[in-house]
Amino acid sequence: MSVDTVSLTGWGRTAPTTAVRFRPRTHEEAAAAVRGRGPRGVIARGLGRSPGDAAQNAGGSVLDLTGLARIGGVDAAGAVRCDAGVSLERLLRVLLPLGWLPPVVPGTGRVTVGGAIASDLPGLDHRRSGSFARHLSALELLTADGEVRTVLPGTALFDATAGGLGLTGVILGATLRLRRVPTALMSVSTERAEDLDDLLARFTAGGDRLPYASAWIDLMARGRAAGRGILTRGEHATPDMRPAHAGRTLLSPRSGGARGRFRLPGCPPVPGGLFGPAPAALYNEVRYRGAPRARTGELRPVGAFFHAADAYPDANLLYGRGGLVRYRFTVGYGQEETLHRVVRRIAGRRGPAVRAVLQRFGAADPGGLSFAAPGWSLALDLPAALPGLARFLDDVDEEVAAAGGRVCLAKDSRMRPEAAAAMYPGLAGFQELRARLDPTEAFRSDLSRRLGL
């Protein structure tokens, strides 16, 4: 097991802190690192794709689990056991040629299985499938005493670990129930919406006939165009939909990745960020006008549909040296006016928002700190150095909380502890269970200290 001292951040590159990093290759090495932890505790880390500080531990220890990356065989029932350090991108490449898909596919493949469980990630079909942990048969958890437990769904420990941000223990592996798919292609529909009301109406039209859906919103547009966007929906293509030249590529590993990757080789962060308000508004205008008014039946590879953002792995460098803040919140159905107000406030502030994604969520998942709940979810990125951003988002927090909504803890890098307590009614129960299971607070992170979790 290698050990070094490093400065770490989340993908948003805000608030770097220094920790001792352990890189275990076996469960025994991971257990030894937990038993030998210092007074500042330990937290697990995967690929570092959380935008905030959930996988940092200032002055303490961090367990880099990417060395635990074994994938077992798929059994007759369509289940697979894999280590926590396996990326969803690799899992997709391995499973897709066999006709299987991970149970929930989020918007990036560059996250580990352990990270997907600890964040209880939702996918584009949450209304049908729920979040990631709902599809586990079991998980293996290394607890504060250095022992490895098999934790089953329906138990209090399982519900606390799903979405628990690594604070109940180190997730070492899990057994996933997979989804059978007919091809490695998606049949995709795209349509433009003129404003937010139009976009919400298009989302709900036709129910869930096409299970996967998300929309890009132009948060720079104001007036009657506020909230305009591009809605993209998809379903798994059947063999009869394939083009004549597809042949053997229907379940090819090459069909599982994003369409190429645009990398900025050796590129340091742009000092002031690439996008100011005027360039961002122009970019959004071109993107909106360049989308089809309505198109159906476009065939795309599975990976290109789900993980289009992974084609730009260095996009976080474009927000300036201060990094980016990802703000993701959800408000319930019936609270659309709150969503309208937040969109108008962001547009009126003229923050250079070029990434903004709207989704619909279904039934809440049982995890005490799981983010997804019935309603609308909006995620956006803003430069962290934007003047007045902290106060502005504090005000938005209050509006979201007043509407019964919540901000995603796994993405957070700046929320105040009183806001988190107001948004998550299950927090007290989570803290009580954690105090019983881990009275010495072996598992800690910068996020857990900041929010008092």
389-402 vs 336-349: helix axis angle to the nearest 10?
A: 170
Residues in contact with 20: Cβ distance below 8 Å, sequence separation at least 6, in sequence order: 3, 4, 5, 38, 60, 61, 62
Q: For residue 209, name the pLDDT band (cuts at 50, 70, 90).
A: confident
Q: Which residue has the tokens 């900025």?
A: 264
Report the pLDDT value the prediction gives residue 259, as an integer from 0 to 100: 46
CA of 342: how far to CAs of 53, 281, 362, in Å? 25, 18, 21
pLDDT by residue (tens digit) across 306-358? 998 888 778 888 888 889 999 999 999 999 999 999 999 999 998 888 999 99
Report the pLDDT value the prediction gives residue 274, as an integer from 0 to 100: 59
Q: What is the mean pLDDT of residues 80-91?
A: 97
* Phi/psi of residue 225, nearest 5 degrees: -90, 0
Q: What is the mean pLDDT of residues 135-158?
A: 96
Q: Which residue has the tokens 């096409």?
A: 210
Does residue 446 register a pLDDT over 70?
yes
Q: What is the mean pLDDT of residues 285-310?
A: 93
pTM here is 0.93
Beta bridge partners of 301: 185
Report the pLDDT value the prediction gives residue 315, as an integer from 0 to 100: 81
Report the pLDDT value the prediction gives residue 267, as an integer from 0 to 100: 46
pLDDT by residue (tens digit) across 28-54? 999 999 998 989 999 999 999 999 999
Higher-scoring residue by pLDDT: 342, 249:
342
Does residue 246 register a pLDDT over 90?
no
Q: Give the 3-state secondary structure of residue 4.
A: strand
What is the rounded average pLDDT for all residues in the chain? 91
Higher-scoring residue by pLDDT: 274, 429:
429
Higher-scoring residue by pLDDT: 394, 278:
394
User: What distance in Å separates the CA atoms of residue 250 and residue 260, rounded to the nearest whole number?
Assistant: 18
Looking at mean pLDDT, say which of 1-5, 172-176, 275-279 comes out highest.
172-176
Q: Which residue has the tokens 């909380």?
A: 401
Alpha helices by DSSP H, 79-142: 88-95, 113-119, 126-129
pLDDT by residue (tens digit) across 381-414? 999 999 999 999 999 999 999 999 999 999 999 9
Check: CB of residue 378 under 8 Å from CB of residue 396.
no
Does residue 254 register a pLDDT over 70?
no
Q: Which of 90, 8, 81, 14 is nearest to 45 (CA)?
A: 8
Q: Which of 237, 240, 221 is nearest to 229 (CA)?
A: 221
Q: Which of 352, 343, 231, 347 is nearest to 288 (CA)?
A: 231
